Structure formats: structure tokens, C-alpha cells
Amino acid sequence: MIIKMTETATEEMIENVVSKVKEAGLESSISNGEHVVVGLIGNQKAMEKINWSELPGVQETQEIKKSYKLTSREFHPENTVIEIGNLKIGDGSMTMMAGPCSIEGLEQIMECARIAKEGGATVLRGGAFKPRTSPYAFQGLEEEGLKYIREAADAYDMKVITEVMDEANLELVAKYSDILQIGARNMQNFKLLQAVGKTGMPVALKRGISGTIDEWLNAAEYIVTQGNFNVMFVERGIRTYETATRNTLDLSAVPVMKTLTHFPIIVDPSHGVGIREIVPPMAVAGVASGADGLIVEIHPEPEKAWSDGAQSLDEALYANMMKKVHIMEKAMKEINQVD
Amino acid sequence: MIIKMTETATEEMIENVVSKVKEAGLESSISNGEHVVVGLIGNQKAMEKINWSELPGVQETQEIKKSYKLTSREFHPENTVIEIGNLKIGDGSMTMMAGPCSIEGLEQIMECARIAKEGGATVLRGGAFKPRTSPYAFQGLEEEGLKYIREAADAYDMKVITEVMDEANLELVAKYSDILQIGARNMQNFKLLQAVGKTGMPVALKRGISGTIDEWLNAAEYIVTQGNFNVMFVERGIRTYETATRNTLDLSAVPVMKTLTHFPIIVDPSHGVGIREIVPPMAVAGVASGADGLIVEIHPEPEKAWSDGAQSLDEALYANMMKKVHIMEKAMKEINQVD
Amino acid sequence: MIIKMTETATEEMIENVVSKVKEAGLESSISNGEHVVVGLIGNQKAMEKINWSELPGVQETQEIKKSYKLTSREFHPENTVIEIGNLKIGDGSMTMMAGPCSIEGLEQIMECARIAKEGGATVLRGGAFKPRTSPYAFQGLEEEGLKYIREAADAYDMKVITEVMDEANLELVAKYSDILQIGARNMQNFKLLQAVGKTGMPVALKRGISGTIDEWLNAAEYIVTQGNFNVMFVERGIRTYETATRNTLDLSAVPVMKTLTHFPIIVDPSHGVGIREIVPPMAVAGVASGADGLIVEIHPEPEKAWSDGAQSLDEALYANMMKKVHIMEKAMKEINQVD
Amino acid sequence: MIIKMTETATEEMIENVVSKVKEAGLESSISNGEHVVVGLIGNQKAMEKINWSELPGVQETQEIKKSYKLTSREFHPENTVIEIGNLKIGDGSMTMMAGPCSIEGLEQIMECARIAKEGGATVLRGGAFKPRTSPYAFQGLEEEGLKYIREAADAYDMKVITEVMDEANLELVAKYSDILQIGARNMQNFKLLQAVGKTGMPVALKRGISGTIDEWLNAAEYIVTQGNFNVMFVERGIRTYETATRNTLDLSAVPVMKTLTHFPIIVDPSHGVGIREIVPPMAVAGVASGADGLIVEIHPEPEKAWSDGAQSLDEALYANMMKKVHIMEKAMKEINQVD
């Protein structure tokens, strides 16, 4: 349920509502737009006991009809901005994340960090626990890798995003990273979603290999109902009949998600297309679709990469792409002012 | 087979090759880039009779391995530019096509032409023969509709693009239009492809409902082998499991096609997503993906449209979108100069 | 609209209704089950002018809500049986169709006919006009091929099913065949559907490469609204992400279609899976799903076939499969008596 | 690597090979067919140290090329039979599993067990931990539910199959069940696969929502490499564009899997189609496709089911279906003797 305040509602009136919410044993989330909207979190019956409409400054209350509630834009009409130190995701700027598929060693991740940073990235990606189709494929350096990526990110004043594959290693991954990535194969691993929800840490929830928009939003709800409002979505392509690309990057998911949820959305063109040469144009198009950020795979020597070499950009290609991305960022600022 | 000339080959040397081609009973297509490339059209055995490599100025000959040959970029390394009067498609500019799903009457199509033109469109779209899932649905005004769209386009100095559904009506449709559209359901109607190939007129070949990139290129080959090099592709979304949008607009098809073929590619965000509010961001992203043009559905009163109302833009939304599209065009010019 | 007669309605009462229908300028179709159902064909307004419920023996009238009407089981609750000479399709027996992908010569098709017939097939398949992805692939022997298949079928007292790809060759194909096949790529070639509808000949409508059940039924309606009630459906697999098989054979389409339409449905395991060894088990499963028939590709020497060799059965494999199919037919008769 | 013995190899020779395997620090798996095949499990380098071909009775050794090795039929040419007490799965008989989607109470599951058993089922299914799209949906009775299903199964002398969703509850689920089910959403939850692998218990691995055949086999390899050869596959339909059914049941997966792996495969028509009336024909077709068993959802009062009511069979429908299934079982025995 949400409580929509009148346009003229005072600070005091809002505080009054919030304190009533607390008294009722519920929690609240504030969205500051033209109208302040107070979202109610907790037991439905407790919500219904109070006649909220009678409180001063309240315009109306509204049930959220969708199966996902706290994740929906109705619950929080304004964009949610995730803050990680001085980094803000979802505030209208473009957050750039880059790094290798797998962390292969300290030197490699250090070099990746340097390249990533020079191109303008503020978040370093890299996998230490790798979900691989075959049990015989390289499964990641695990804690050793986590230490390396932390060291590299710190050296270049970057944040770390890395995948957590199971609850057993959650504490370990959380210790070394700033953003917990939930991989596509785990989008509906509900127990893991609840576990990362409990950490309160920023979570990047990748779209499932054939996840629907609706399932994706409901998956986020598993995180958010644990009190964790630091969720970002990552569109990484969906599985279709087309084999010309690794997946089909669904950029229309960006504007569609923007209408349905208040959380930021990041585009991953690397997994989206899986072909090095096609990554830059899709990164550019991703920015143009309205994404809050990009996440791309880079490698100092893609041809020697232990995984995903075919879709990794080398330094030159990445630097070139980033010039285009920056031009696009400026264009989008202009576009966002058209009305 | 292609003949690649040396960088220093003279005009005379090229003419010599071309005349030898003619002598052999073959036709040729010239692509003027750093190297001139002469593409050979016709009987494979006739091609093999001559030792092309010995001719002055010839660097090498090359077989085209792909199943589609004349359509492949190997055959014609430079972009093909389609000229329709003063309109050029594929020359680096963005061609804007707009109009209603169905032509409903003279007044409606006139009003659409005015709106389209004011926003910057140079091509007027509108269906007079409508492929409809149900035989009981409105099937189009047929010749009456064709007359109306021609009149409207002429009044606003625009070109006409309209669908031809069968060979029987091809002459009729050709009489009133500038670009023959082959609909998604007919992408592999090979007899129709050959028939429009024979007209020599510009053809807009929509991607099939679940057409692969490879099938699409081969479908074009049916047109081109009739001697018609005026082909443009239209990405209009593919069928996937996702139901949040009408189709899944595959923007990655744009850069992928650009590497595989020399023909222009247009993006249709209207059919691609099927939701009015999502059309403008995907039009903008379509330009950013590197498309040569856009085709969108507009209607003076979308809520009263006889078909596809849910995805048609009204005047205000279209005008607003076009402002954004124009900003994006400028950005793309800048991006295309990055190297 | 349908008119449902009472269980006790006499022959006379039914005839009275039918003659009133004729008087109203409409046509009728009779379904003889527990209740006789008279389906009305023609102008909706003409139907509404008469108060059918007042006629003796009429229990009720009912609008058909689905977009396809004459094709729906509501319109004709009993199974439609298609009769071609002494062959009946849809009467509870299993119709077996077999033959090569392409007709390659008289000898080849004769040999196929012999093999097919010995295994129990009564219909000979074979393509004379072949829809091929590439224009450079073998396109069929055309009229020559049609003559050969007719000759072979006559020699073995079989019926001919062959594909018609366009209106221009319809008369020609019709002349030599008993069942006109509409290929998957033409499922929504609405002009062609109407044209085969007008012939009144039996039509086998293949499911589109990614045709939905609903589109398929509506496509049939294009045929039936031309007065042609001799339609059979062919499930031939749909396009999915899975590449282990050529297509994904959707056997659930059989019972689903049986609830929605009165027309017979045939299963094509050859195109459905595209792997020789997997064809027999899926043929057997196809019978078990409740299909009215099977259509399979055979070839005297599959490794030399001009097309689809990988999915064609040789004589031994076909004969072996047919033994299993016959066991399954018996089992299905027993199963159909369970209540 | 596999060691293929000669047809005439003696018991002693085989034992000799097995003891050499042990000496090399490896494990072995025996497949008794025309030729005995000894599969080697463990370190690749250790395998290569010994010149196996020189041992008496050895015909040849062979590398397994596929990414999944122990799961492949090359590794174990004969069918693997899983034994659970007196129940054998994969021995040519048909194993019937039935029960509710969710365990709702002792009375409900007792009633389900009675119905299931009377129809011929030997395994009782029922979920105590339910993966649900929305966090607000019923998530299962957890341990209480496990106790109920165990009690019901024991009362009717049945085995229990139930889903385990995470490692944290694995011990608990294992305590009450005979077969651990890995749900479709967890097909590539590799940590969970390894964990159930370690238990050594029978595991039913459902195909992922859009899992490819290849991914599915590799997922099993995660279980088998833990030393657990008690794996069965469950085909439960895949996600496609078609919405007429809940999923598209891919029965061709049954014969395809049979050629690729030695483990049994079960068909789940309930999730495969999601429509009560379509479950029985697809169960029958599932048997005909060559499956080793069926798993279906039943409920004493489907319309009151807490989950999946629309696809659950009531007692009458289930009993009726089972009569057909039993006829089909007999037919398949006959079919399997055709050669």
C-alpha cells in the first residue's frame, strides 16, 4: 500500500504519517517527487487497521495490484539512487563497469583495472566464482581471485562487482566486494536472493537466460522484502532461436523496466551479443535506450582469456568504444531535456 | 566471385575487366572503396573460364563462401545507396518513414502525411493490402487506399512505401508506390520475392516473424538474383517467449547485418515493441545502433485507428520523438568520426 | 452462429431449419452427434434476422466467440472426415503418408512409392516445387516432377500430396495431386490460402515455423471461408532455442487442436526432429498423441538425396518403423475405448 | 576414458583391469553389454600413465569427446538402472510418480497417496519447499510437509520424491525422502548439484526452463563427478513463444537423451502442458516416446489446490489416464521387441 500526500503537504505532515506507520509496526519508504509518496512495508492487515486518508496532508491511499510491490514504480514513483561511497547509480549519470570475465591473476586484473579506469569506468568487474556449463571448465580462483580484484580496485579507486553463486560463500564474497552480482542462472534461486537481501549490500540482479520481465521484477522482490532497497537490474540478453549472436540483447527491456520499477538498470552488451565487434555499437545503443550504466568485458589479451575471450574487448577497442559512449552520454542529457 | 583490383588500378584497367565480364556473358557490379571490387553476376562456369588474375590491375579473385552471394558485403564492400528521386537511403543519413498502419481514408492519410512531414519524414507509409491474422478483420482499402496514399505523398512531396502481398496485385501496388514492402509473413514467400525482384523497384524486406539473420539474407538474394540491387532490410522485432512487448526488437541485428551485407537497414520500433510509450526510446536506440532509417506508425487519433492503435503515436508524441531522433542523428555523426 | 437441435429433433425439423437457412441467403454445415448442430455460414446480419429459437426442434442458438468460426469445434462438434476416393482422413483410422522430400526422377519416386505402399502408406508425398532458403539450392523438377509423382501414385493405387507455393502454379499442381500442401513458410500467405480455398480440394496446412495455435486456426479459416471444408493440419515442429533437433516437435498441439477444431491433424516427425534415428520414436509417439495420420520422408538412398537426406528413412528403417506404428494403432484403438 | 573389453574377455580379465584401475588411484564403472565396458573415473593424467591396451582381454581404449563424460552413453553403453529398495527405474519398466504440487496437510497427502497408489504409482510426489515466482505466494509447509509426505508414502508402501531448493535444507529434505528433485530453476545451480551429488542419493534433475539438451547433460555431470550415479532426468517442457500451453513439452528429448546418456528419463506432462485435459494424452504419448516413467500432479479437489490446480488431475481423471497408460506400457513392450 502507498500513501500519496497532497502537493502542499508539509514536512510535519509527512513526519506524522511516518510515525503512525512506525506505531503500526510497519516500515516506510519515502519517494520525493511532485507528490511525496510514502510506501508501506509489512503486514497487510496492520496497514488496513488505520484510516490513513484522515491524516492531515494525505491525498489518498492505493493498493499495489502487481505481484511485486516494493519493486514497483507505484510504490516509489521517483528513481531510486544507489549510493556506494561517492558513486551514485541511477541518478541520471551513466555508471561504467568493466573488467575481465574471470580473474586470472593479480597482474591481469591490475592491468584490466588500469584500462577500465582510463576509459572512464568506476566499477571493476571480474569473476572469482564462475558458473560454468561443464564441471571440467575453469571454475574461478575463488578467495584468491577476490583478494586480487579488491587490491586492483583499491589501487585505481574503483568499486568491485563480482558474482556470488551460493549462500555458503556469500560472507566471503561480501567481504571483498561492493556489489553482489546474481548471475543469470540464479535469477530464480530464491534462497540466494533472500540471503543477499539480508546483507543490505547493493545487488546486481541479472536477467535469467529466459527470464520474463515479470519474473525478473518478482525475483527482485525476494531481495527487497528482506529490507534491501539497493537493487539494480542487468539486461544481458535472452535466449531465442537466433544463433547469429550469443543471446538476443533485449534493449526494449530498458524503457519497459523504467515504467515498471524505480530501480536502476544496467546493460551488458558483452553477454548480450557475444561478438567483440558488435559490443561497441550495442553499448552505444544501450546508453541510448536509457540505461543507467553499462557492464562490459575487457581483457589485455582477449585471445588468451580463460573464458569469454570472443566477446572481450582489448584496450584499443575499449578506449575507442568509450569515446563513443561519452558522446552518447552527452546526447542523452540533451534528449532527456526535450519535453 | 569477386575481382579485387589493386589500389593503383586505373579507370582503364577497371573498364577492361568490366568489358571482359560482358564478353563472358556475365554482368558486373562495382564497389568503389580503397580497392575497387568488381562483383560478377551470372553463371559460375562462365566465370571460371577466364583467368581474371592475369588481367592488368587485378589483385586477386575470390569465391564468396556464403550461401547468399550478391547480398554479401564481400561482393560489394562499400555500402549500397538506394536512390529514389532525390532521396538517398544508406548514404549515412537517416531516412525517416512514418504513417498509419492502415490507410483509412483520404483525410486520414493526408493528416498523417502532414504530421509525418513536419516531423522530418520523407517517406509516407500506410497499408492498402493488410495481412491480418483473422479473415474477418479489416483487410485494407486496396486500390482506393493506394490512390489516397499517392495523393497524400505527392501533396507533401514524399515517397510512398506500402506492402504488396501477392503477385496478382504487384502491378497495381507498383503503380502507386515508390518502395514495395514485403511483410514479415512473406519473408520466405520466394515466388513473391522473385516477382518484386523483377520490377527493379526499391524493396523493403521485413524480417520474418522468426526469421534468422541467415534466412533473411538469403531471402534478399532471391530479389537480387533477379537483377534488383535496390533492397533494404527492415528489423521489426522477432518472436520470443517474452510477452511484455509485442515482439522483441533485435537491435543487435543492425550492426550484425552491417558486417554481412552492403544493403541499408531500417528499424521499425512500432512493430518491434507494440507499446506506444516504448516506441520513442527504441526509435532513439535504433538510430544509435547504426540504422539507416526508421519506420514508425502514427495516427491522428490512435484510439480510433482501425489497426495497431496501441502502438501508433499521435502528433504530439511523434513530434517529441522526432526532436530526440534529430539530436541522436547529430550524435551519431560525431560517433562515426571517432576512430 | 450455430443452431443446436434438441436430442429428439426429427429429420424433418432439421430439414426445416436447413431450408430456412437457405431462404435467408446463408449456407449450412451439419454436425451429427448426440445433438445435431447446424452451423451457419455467411453474413452475420442475415443470421440475426431470423428468430431461430422458435423453429421446432431447436434447443438454442449460440454465437462463436473465437476469431476463427467455421474452423472451431463449436461450429461442428463432431470430427470432420475428409474423403478422397476411398481414403478417409479423420475417421478414427491412421492415414500414412510417405515419400521423398524432393521428386528427383521417375525411378526414384517409383521406388519410393513401392516402399511407402509396402509399409502401409496410402498417400505418396514428394515435392516438385521446393521452397529453399537459398536461391541457389535445387528448386524442384516442377511439372516434370508432378507427372512422375502422379504416375508413381497411380501405379501403386495411392493418393498424391504435394506442395503448392503460389497462385500462379496452383492450377498445375491441382491437376496432378489429390491434396494440396501449404508449406510452413506460407502458413500466413493469406492470398494463397484463399486461392486453395476456392479449389475445394483437400488442403494440408502446415504449421508455420513459429506459428501459434491461434494463428494456425485463423489461417485455416481463410481456406474454409471460401467454402472449402477439406482442411487438415500438419504439425511439423516449431522453432525454439534448442538446436539438438531441427525443430521442436510439439505433440501437445495434437490434443490441443483436437479440442479447438473439428478438422484432422497429421504429424510430420521428419521435419519435426530432422534426425533419421529420432523419426521412428516420434512417429510412434505421434500416433499415441492422437494424430489422424503421419507424414514421413523416405528415400531409397538417403545419403544421395537431393534434399533432407539426414532426416529421410531408408527402406529397412521405414519398414521397421511401420511395424511399430501398426502396433501403436492397435493400442490406440483400445485406449480410445477406455472411458 | 573407457576401456572396451573383447567379447570373449573372462571375468578374471575384467577383474584384473578393475584392480589396475584401483592401483592407479582411479575408480571404475562397469557396463555389461555384448562387450563389457569399464569406465574410468578420476584424474586424466593418472589414466594415461598405464598402457591399458596391453592388458589381457582389452580390445581398445577410447577418449570421450563430449564435454560431459560420465553421463555420456559412451562411458556406459548399457542403461543405468537406479534401485531404491525394491523399485527399479530404467530397467525397461515404467515408473509412475504422482502426487500434489504442494503438500497442504496430512489428510490431503494421505488421500493423494491412496489415489496415486490405486492407479499404479510407486512414488509419491509433493512439494514442501516451493520455488514460487512471487515471494508473497505460498512457499510450502517445509519440515511439517516433509513429515506428512513420508508418513503418507510409508502408509502406502511408496517412495518419496520431493524438491530440495538449497544446500541449507538438503540434510532435512534428504532425511525424509528417497529421491531428491532439482527443480527447473535450479538446473544450473552448480553448487546445489554438487551438494546433492555428495549425498549419493537418487536425484531427479528437471530440465531448465530453457535448458538445452547439452546443458542438461553437463548439469548432470556436476552430480555424477561427485560419485553419484543415481541420476534420472525429467523432461517438463521448455519455454517457447507458444502460449496455448504452459510450456512446450519436448517429447523428442526422450529419444535424443536415450542416444546420449545411459541414465533414465521421466516425463512430466503436468508442467509440460499445464492444462488438465491435455495431461492424459501427453502422458500416453510420453510413454510412447520411450520414457522410463511419468510424474504427474494429482489432487483430491484440484479446484481447491494451493498451487497448480489447473493442471492437477482429480481421482477419476487420473484413474482413467492410468488405464490408458497401462495399455500403452504393454504396447511399448511389444514395440521394443520389433527388430
Distance CA(B38)–CA(B35), nearest Å, equals 10
Q: How many other CB atoms sit within 10 Å of the CB of residue D147?
A: 17
| Exposure letters D161-171 (e unless 16+ CB within 10 A, then b) | bbbbbbbebbe
Interacting residues of D11 by C-beta distance below 8 A, sequence separation 6+: none
Distance CA(D169)–CA(D163), nearest Å, equals 10
Put simply, whether A67 touches B (Cβ < 8 Å) is no
Distance CA(C335)–CA(C326), nearest Å, equals 14
Q: Answer yes or no: do C161 and C27 share one domain.
A: no
Q: CATH no. for residue A25?
A: 3.30.70.1140
Q: Sign of dihedral through CA atoms D129, D133, D134, D137?
A: negative
Kindly give the pairing relationship between strand A27-32 and strand B231-235: unpaired
- C245: chain D residues, CB-CB within 8 Å: 252, 256
How much is the mean pLDDT over chain B?
96
Put simply, whether B67 touches A (Cβ < 8 Å) is no
Q: How close is the nearest chain C Cα to the Cα of A243, in Å?
A: 9
* Residue linked to cell 479473415: B135
Do the Cβ atoms of D98 and D125 come closer than 8 Å? yes
Distance CA(B231)–CA(B224), nearest Å, equals 8
Put simply, whether B101 touches A (Cβ < 8 Å) is no
Answer yes or no: is A70 within a domain.
no
For residue B290 the three cell numbers come to 547504426
Q: Can you give the pLDDT at residue B263?
A: 98
pLDDT greater than 90 at residue A18: yes
Helices (H), chain A: 11-23, 44-48, 106-119, 143-155, 170-176, 190-199, 213-224, 253-260, 269-273, 279-288, 315-335
Put simply, whether D210 touches B (Cβ < 8 Å) is yes
Inter-chain contact B328–A339, Cβ cutoff 8 Å? no
For residue C267 the three cell numbers come to 504429424
Question: Tens digits of per-residue pLDDT, D88-123?
Answer: 999 999 999 999 999 999 999 999 999 999 999 999
Answer yes or no: is A68 within a domain.
no
Question: Tens digits of per-residue pLDDT, B143-181?
Answer: 999 999 999 999 999 999 999 999 999 999 999 999 999
Q: Can you give the pLDDT at residue C339?
A: 79
Question: Tens digits of per-residue pLDDT, C122-180?
Answer: 999 999 999 999 999 999 999 999 999 999 999 999 999 999 999 999 999 999 999 99
Answer yes or no: is A187 within a domain.
yes
pLDDT greater than 90 at residue D44: no
pLDDT greater than 90 at residue B48: no
Q: Can you give the pLDDT at residue B319?
A: 98
SS3 of residue C118 by DSSP:
helix
**Which H or E run contains A5?**
strand A2-5
Do the Cβ atoms of B138 and B104 come closer than 8 Å? no
Q: Answer yes or no: do A45 and A90 share one domain.
A: no
Q: Can you give the pLDDT at residue B43?
A: 86
- Show the CA angle centred on residue D265, arms to residues D259 and D267, nearest 5°: 125
Candidates C216, C242, C270, C329: best to mutate against D (most CBs of D within 10 A) is: C242
Q: Answer yes or no: do A230 and A311 share one domain.
A: yes
List subunits contacting chain B, requiring 3 or more Cβ pairs under 8 Å.
A, C, D
Q: Can you give the pLDDT at residue B76?
A: 95
- C273: chain D residues, CB-CB within 8 Å: 252, 256
Inter-chain contact C133–B225, Cβ cutoff 8 Å? no
Put simply, whether A335 touches B (Cβ < 8 Å) is yes
DSSP B178: S
Counting DSSP H helices and E strands in chain D, the numbers are: 11, 14
Q: CA of A212: which chain B residue's CA is closest? A: B242
Question: Tens digits of per-residue pLDDT, D65-78?
Answer: 999 999 999 999 99
Put simply, whether D205 touches A (Cβ < 8 Å) is no
Answer yes or no: is C272 within a domain.
yes
Q: Answer yes or no: do C20 and C118 share one domain.
A: no
Q: Can you give the pLDDT at residue C244?
A: 97
Give me the phi and psi of C85, to 5 degrees please: 60, -130
Answer yes or no: is A113 within a domain.
yes
Put simply, whether C337 touches D (Cβ < 8 Å) is no
Rg (CA), chain D: 21
Helices (H), chain C: 11-23, 44-48, 106-119, 143-155, 170-176, 190-199, 213-224, 253-260, 269-273, 279-288, 315-335
Put simply, whether B41 touches C (Cβ < 8 Å) is no
Q: How close is the nearest chain A Cα to the Cα of D245, in Å?
A: 16
**Which H or E run contains C231?**
strand C231-235
Q: Answer yes or no: do A95 and A58 share one domain.
A: no
Dihedral angle, C-alpha C44, C50, C51, C52, nearest 10 °: -80
Higher pLDDT among residues A175 and B34, named by residue: A175
Distance CA(A268)–CA(A6), nearest Å, equals 40
Answer yes or no: is C68 within a domain.
no
Number of domains in chain A: 2
| Exposure letters A164-178 (e unless 16+ CB within 10 A, then b) | bbbbebbeebbebbb
Put simply, whether B259 touches A (Cβ < 8 Å) is yes
DSSP A52: G
Pick the closest to residue B273 from C207, A213, D106 (CA basis): A213
- C239: chain A residues, CB-CB within 8 Å: 241
Q: Can you give the pLDDT at residue A43?
A: 86
**Is residue D153 very low, low, confident or very high in pLDDT (cuts 50, 70, 90)?**
very high
Do the Cβ atoms of A26 and A38 come closer than 8 Å? no
Answer yes or no: is B12 within a domain.
yes
Say what the ipTM of the complex is: 0.94
Inter-chain contact C134–B189, Cβ cutoff 8 Å? no
Interacting residues of B49 by C-beta distance below 8 A, sequence separation 6+: B24
Q: How close is the nearest chain D Cα to the Cα of B216, in Å?
A: 20
At D313, the amino acid letter reads L
Burial class (CB in 10 A: 0-12, 13-18, 19+), B337: exposed
Q: Answer yes or no: do A40 and A168 share one domain.
A: no
Do the Cβ atoms of B248 and A253 come closer than 8 Å? no
- C317: chain D residues, CB-CB within 8 Å: none
Phi-psi region of D183 (alpha: psi -120 to 50; beta: other; left: phi over 0): beta
Inter-chain contact B167–C166, Cβ cutoff 8 Å? yes
Q: CA of C137: which chain B residue's CA is closest? A: B67
Question: Tens digits of per-residue pLDDT, C68-121?
Answer: 999 999 999 999 999 999 999 999 999 999 999 999 999 999 999 999 999 999
Q: Answer yes or no: do C124 and C261 share one domain.
A: yes
Q: Can you give the pLDDT at residue A69?
A: 93
Q: CA of C215: which chain B residue's CA is closest? A: B133
Q: Answer yes or no: do A331 and A224 share one domain.
A: yes
Question: Tens digits of per-residue pLDDT, C290-333?
Answer: 999 999 999 999 999 998 889 999 999 999 999 999 999 999 99
Put simply, whether C239 touches B (Cβ < 8 Å) is yes
Q: Answer yes or no: do B48 and B172 share one domain.
A: no
> What is the pLDDT averaged over residues A35-44?
91
Q: CATH no. for residue C163?
A: 3.20.20.70
Answer yes or no: is A73 within a domain.
no
pLDDT greater than 90 at residue A180: yes
- B243: chain D residues, CB-CB within 8 Å: 243
Quick one: how far is CA B255 from the chain centroid?
A: 15
Interacting residues of C61 by C-beta distance below 8 A, sequence separation 6+: C1, C2, C3, C4, C52, C53
Put simply, whether A322 touches B (Cβ < 8 Å) is no
Q: Answer yes or no: do D99 and D47 share one domain.
A: no
Q: Answer yes or no: do B53 and B137 share one domain.
A: no
> What is the pLDDT averaged over residues B210-229?
97
Do the Cβ atoms of C124 and C160 come closer than 8 Å? yes
Inter-chain contact C248–D250, Cβ cutoff 8 Å? yes
For residue B62 the three cell numbers come to 575470390
Q: CA of B224: which chain C residue's CA is closest? A: C135
> What is the pLDDT averaged over residues B191-209?
98
Put simply, whether B22 touches D (Cβ < 8 Å) is no
From residue C149, alpha-carbon distances to C96, C171, D143 in Å are 17, 16, 67
SS3 of residue B234 by DSSP:
strand
Put simply, whether B284 touches A (Cβ < 8 Å) is yes
E strands in chain B: 2-5, 27-32, 36-41, 58-62, 82-84, 87-89, 95-99, 123-125, 159-163, 179-182, 203-206, 231-235, 265-267, 293-297
Put simply, whether D133 touches A (Cβ < 8 Å) is yes
DSSP D229: -
SS3 of residue C9 by DSSP:
coil
Kindly give the pairing relationship between strand D179-182 and strand D159-163: parallel
For residue A249 the three cell numbers come to 540483447
Q: Can you give the pLDDT at residue A44?
A: 84
Q: Sign of dihedral through CA atoms C138, C122, C169, B232?
A: negative
According to DSSP, the residues that pair with B288 across neighbouring strands are none
Distance CA(C275)–CA(C302), nearest Å, equals 12
Could you write out the DSSP letters of every residue in D71-101?
Answer: TBTTT--SPP-EEETTEEESSSS-EEEEE-S
Q: Which domain holds residue D183?
A: 82-335
From residue C133, alpha-carbon distances to B195, C302, D144 in Å are 16, 20, 58
Put simply, whether C243 touches B (Cβ < 8 Å) is no
B-C contacts (CB, under 8 Å): 74
Q: How close is the nearest chain B Cα to the Cα of D210, in Å?
A: 10
Could you write out the DSSP letters of every residue in A308-331?
Answer: -GGG-B-HHHHHHHHHHHHHHHHH
pLDDT greater than 90 at residue B339: no
Distance CA(D39)–CA(D262), nearest Å, equals 12
**Is residue C45 very low, low, confident or very high in pLDDT (cuts 50, 70, 90)?**
confident
* Residue linked to cell 552520454: A329
Put simply, whether B210 touches C (Cβ < 8 Å) is yes
**Is residue A323 very low, low, confident or very high in pLDDT (cuts 50, 70, 90)?**
very high
Q: Answer yes or no: do C190 and C241 share one domain.
A: yes
According to DSSP, the residues that pair with B98 across neighbouring strands are B124, B296
From residue A151, alpha-carbon distances to A143, A306, B42, D326 in Å are 12, 21, 63, 65
Interacting residues of C227 by C-beta distance below 8 A, sequence separation 6+: C27, C41, C197, C198, C200
For residue A108 the three cell numbers come to 591481469
- A248: chain B residues, CB-CB within 8 Å: 238, 240, 248, 250, 252
Candidates B172, B188, B193, B213: best to mutate against C (most CBs of C within 10 A) is: B188
